Structures are given as C-alpha cells and as structure tokens.
Structure 1
Amino acid sequence: MKVKPTPQLSIGTLAGVLALSSVFLPAAADEPIGDAIRDVPLFDAHMHYKEPAWEHYPVKSVIELMDHNGVAMALVSSTPDEGTIMLLEHAPNRIVPELRPYHGGFGSGNWTKMTGMDAYLEGRLEKYPHQGIGEFHIHRLDTSDEALFRKIIDMATQRDIHLHVHSGPEPVRWLYALDPDVKIIWAHAGLSTPAVDVHALMSEFPGILADTSLREWDIAGNGASLDPDWERILFDFQDRLMIGSDTWVNSQWDNYSQIMASNRAWLAQLPRDVAEKIAYRNAERLFGREISMDLIGTR
C-alpha cells in the first residue's frame, strides 16, 4: 500500500498555523477556533496496536502518548486482535475496541478466503465488547465473497455496530447494495479517492461516516488555508467525520505527536462547533461515550 509521508509538524509550525488562522480569517460568528484548539480533547478514530509495536510501545507508553497529545479516547483495531484487548484491559476508559479480521497468515489481501472466518469473527464478538468490525481492506471487489459479507453485515446489524471499511467508492456501494441499512465508517475517507469523489459518495449515502486519517496533508492545502474541496467536505459533512492516526507501522507511533499536531493545525481553521464535532463530539455520539480532557491521565 502506498502511503503519503507522515506530516512532520513541529510545535513551532503548529503555533504558526494557529496564528495564521487568527490573522487571516475574518472575525465573525464563524470565527475559527484558532489557538483554543489546544484545549479540545481528541478522539483518534483510527488506531492500530499491531504485534510489531508491542515490544517497542508497551501499553503504558501508548496511553502516555495519548495523554501527551490530548487524545482522550481511541477506536482501536489490531493485527492480531489480542493487541486491542491488551490496550482495552490496561485502559478500559480510554479504548473503544474494534474487531479486525487479520490474524495468523491472513491479512489485508486474503482475509476473505480464510475457511471459518465467519466463525472466528462471531467467536471474538461473543467474547469481547467490540464496537465495530474492521478496519478491513477490500483491495479488489470480488463478488464471490458475498456470502461472507452478508454474514458480517448480519453480525454488525445484530449488535448495532459499524463496519470500518478501507476501500475505494465501489466496494462501499456494493456493501450498501447488499444491505442499504448497513452502518459504515469509511477508513481514510477513501485514502487516494479524490475529494470531489469523496463528496459525491458521502452525498449519495447519508448514513456513511468517515475517518480522515492519512488525509491531513490533503485537507491542510497550502497550510495558510484549507484545500477548497476538502473545506466543502468538512462543512457539508461535519456531523459524519472523525480524525485518526493510523498507527499501522511503528514509524506512525514514532511520529504520533506530529500526526496529532497536524490534525489540530487544520482543525484550528474551523469554527469551534465544527472543529469540536470532528475532533470528538461525533465519536461521543456514535459510541455513546463521554469524552473530555478529564480523561487525560486516567485509565
């Protein structure tokens, strides 16, 4: 998977962007939140705690990183699922667990071909309090997987939880064709999907949510003002977006503070009500949690 370089935003750069948001945007009812974004709690809607991170970033250090960056809570899925459970057991007040299908020799490219995948998912869902299924990849739509996806949709529907789907627009449309009422969080807002197509899909399906992990640079535009197409997305779908880090490799953990700083930098250019929705209030509503800075330093 080709991934854009992680933003390397220093605290000084963040301060500069925050200052620009105050200087160049007009003061009005929709005045940008600016420097006050520092005091807003964040919900990281796309965190992984994969096995290669366990030694380098023990569970205690993950929560400390969250604390350092004002991340009050996170939606976590892991390869294997044991990583998520380790974090959940260490800090149950800070972790919303998701069930990722990947384990053993089955990963993003072949997980739908594992014999007994439906039984594996059902067993983990019965044993642990997962609040979603995913993040999982659909690299290439294979309609022969329909029977499995119908079972997964049924598992999610029975529990009233979301599927966290990493794909382009067409697999999302296919899932909605299988069940128009399926609940979906679109990972990375489509990742490489152009902003105009992101807007089109979110307009087409009023129930879909998206996390913006790995889209920080796309959203930030030239740094002084948001990308116009992304600004339209942020305002039109402000009730359906969440930020994220995507700690899919250890280098993302190494750069976690810079990633969160880059998210605060573009959130700072939004009005307070819009910024707070995307930063944490949408997640608060979605998962039925109370999210505040009071969680920092707790488990």
Structure 2
Amino acid sequence: MAKFPTLLSALLIASLLTTAVLADDRTPIGDAVHDLPIFDAHIHYKEPAWDAYPVESVIEMMDRNGVAMGLVSSTPDEGTIMLWEYAPNRIIPELRPYHGNAGSSNWTKATDMEAYLADRLTRYPHQGIGEFHIHRLDTSDEPLFRSVIKMARARDIYLHVHSSTDPIRWLYSLDSKVKIIWAHAGLGDSATAVYELMNNYPDLLADTSLRENEILGWGRGLDPDWEKVIFAFPDRLMVGSDTWVNGQWDDYDEIIQSNRAWLAQLPRDIAEQIAFRNAERVFGRQISMDQIGTR
C-alpha cells in the first residue's frame, strides 16, 4: 500500500519540474527567426537618397529582408511623405523637425519651429515627432519642448528622441505622461545605464538601431549586460537600421541580418515581441509577412 502514494508523489514532482522548465524555457528561436516579419523602427529617407534610392527600391529592399513595415522620419519631411504615399501599407510616418537651415544642432532655436510642426502635423498623419537630437541640454528650450509635448499629447503620439539619459529625465520632468521612443537606446550610454533608465521610467520605449554589434558582443555572443536589458524589457524594445546616410542604405541587407542574428539567440516569444509585436501594440497596426510585396 505504501507504493501508491510514493508513485503519485513522484508523478507530481515530475509534473511540477516539467512545468517549471516550460515556464523558464529560453530555447533560442534560431533559424526560425527568418520567418518573422521585422518592424524597422528607425528609417530615414533623406534628400541625398532620393536619386540614389528611388522609393520603389527602398520597398524592394524591405521586401528582400522581410521588413514588413517601418517608422520613417526624414530631412526634410518631404522624403517621408514620398515613401508613405508610395507605400502607405508599409510606412508609418513621423515628423522630423529638420528643414531649411534648421538641423540637429540648432533646430530648437528656429523661429518658425512651432508653426512648422503644427502645420505638418495637421497636413499629414504623422505618428511621432522625431527623430530629433538633444546634443546638449539647454533648459532655456523649455517653452518649445512644452509646446512639442503638448502637440504630441493632443495627438497621442510619441517623441522619438536621440539623446543621452539626462534629456530623457528632463522631458519626463516636464510631463510625466509624455510618450518617448529613445533612439538607439542612448547610443553612447552603456547597457547598464540603459537598464537603469528603463527601469526608472516604465513607459519608456527604445529602438536599438546602431547597437546590434554591441548586443552581439562584437561577435563573441549575446552580451551579458544587453541580455539583462532584453530579458527585463522585452515589451519595450524595437530594432532599427538608421539609414542616416546612403552608406546605411548600401548596407541595409547586412544591417537587418545583424539584427536577426541577435534576435535568433532569444526565445521565440521575446524575439517576436522585439521584431514586430511591440510595434503592433504601439502603433495599432497588424504586421505580418503577408505585407511583403505589397504597398
């Protein structure tokens, strides 16, 4: 009679162990990563690219790499609108402030900036303001940033901010409800700093453009500090290419494959989140391989 409860206990323990293993399954998705659609959360279609890479060639590159959709900002904004008008099913436009003599280092000082942004946001369906740079935090720009935040809040859209950690903190101090995508996850900041900032601001999103080699440990394998970021915030990261110069368009295939290389080292559910599901949630779109070959 003693054997029955012993056997039952053994079966119960085995079941619990199996459940625990499944709950902590970190089996990498591996080659199946190539079946996932990619949302490229950091594309620019700047004027020097217009002749070298006509709109149809950009969509062809996206098709070739399984990039179903992309978040596009451009200098000037006309580039974004050209791509969006050509392939509205594939492009989510966002409004970059840069135009005329207003560039990354002086855009906050342009006298017409508020009027320019308001006009473009009224005329086109931009889903974000940015990507814009805050190279050096100047608190005298507070009135402009309060206005920019107000425009974004009124439309329920994101600011796409290229900066170090301090400007992100400052923007949240102006309005704790502002919605931010942190471009390049800071770029010059360490993975440890990225973890700290994202941990402190639970609504902060980030794109990992230009970070793929760091994440891959420069060929040594998934970097431990980046692995900590990825597993802590899988629902708040997106990949990107940052086609800021034509050389990035030249290397677009390699850039997307580098992103797939680090996604391949993640469990399927996390790889899917970062590859496209976060963007589905953030922008309210359906993203799938069925979009490849469409406009």
Normalised to the residue count of structure 2, the TM-score between the two structures is: 0.92
CA apart distance, 1:225? 2.3
2:40 to 41, 44, 47: 44
CA apart distance, 1:83? 0.2
- Residue 108 of structure 1 corresponds to 104
Is 1:216 equivalent to 2:212 in the alignment? yes
Cα deviation digits, residues 2-44 of structure 1 (max 9, x gap) = xxxxxxxxxxxxxxxxxxxxxxxx9983210000001100000
Q: For 1:29 and 1:238, locate their aligned partners in 2 and report how far apart those are by CA, in whole Å.
A: 15
Is 1:207 equivalent to 2:216 in the alignment? no
Q: For 1:222 and 1:248, locate their aligned partners in 2 and report how far apart those are by CA, in whole Å.
A: 22
2:263 to 246, 262, 267: 267
- Structure 1 segment 37-186 matched on structure 2, within 5 A: 37-186=33-182
Equivalent residue pairs, number = 274
Cα deviation digits, residues 31-80 of structure 1 (max 9, x gap) = 10000001100000000000000000000000000000000000000000
SS of alignment partner, residue 64 of structure 1: helix
Counterpart residue type for residue 74 of structure 2: S
4+ runs of 1 displaced by more than 6 Å?
none
- Residue 8 of structure 1 corresponds to none
* Distance of aligned partners of 1:222 and 1:88 in 2 relative to their CA distance in 1, 3 Å threshold: closer
SS of alignment partner, residue 201 of structure 1: helix
- Structure 1 spans left out of the alignment, 5+ residues: 1-25
RMSD: 1.2
SS of alignment partner, residue 241 of structure 2: coil
SS of alignment partner, residue 159 of structure 2: strand
Q: Once the two structures are aligned, what percentage of the paired residues are identical?
A: 71
Cα deviation digits, residues 127-158 of structure 1 (max 9, x gap) = 00000000000000000100000000000000
- Residue 228 of structure 2 corresponds to 232
Q: For 1:271 and 1:220, locate their aligned partners in 2 and report how far apart those are by CA, in whole Å.
A: 15
Normalised to the residue count of structure 1, the TM-score between the two structures is: 0.90
Q: For 2:247 and 2:25, locate their aligned partners in 1 and report how far apart those are by CA, in whole Å.
A: 40
- Structure 2 spans left out of the alignment, 5+ residues: 1-20
Q: Which has the larger radius of gyration?
A: 2
Q: Which has the higher contact order (CA 8 A, sep 6+)?
A: 1
Cα deviation digits, residues 177-205 of structure 1 (max 9, x gap) = 00011000000000010110000000010
SS of alignment partner, residue 144 of structure 1: helix
CA apart distance, 1:116? 1.6
- Residue 6 of structure 1 corresponds to none
Is 1:251 equivalent to 2:211 in the alignment? no
- Residue 274 of structure 2 corresponds to 278
Q: For 1:222 and 1:175, locate their aligned partners in 2 and report how far apart those are by CA, in whole Å.
A: 32
- Structure 1 segment 4-19 matched on structure 2, within 5 A: none
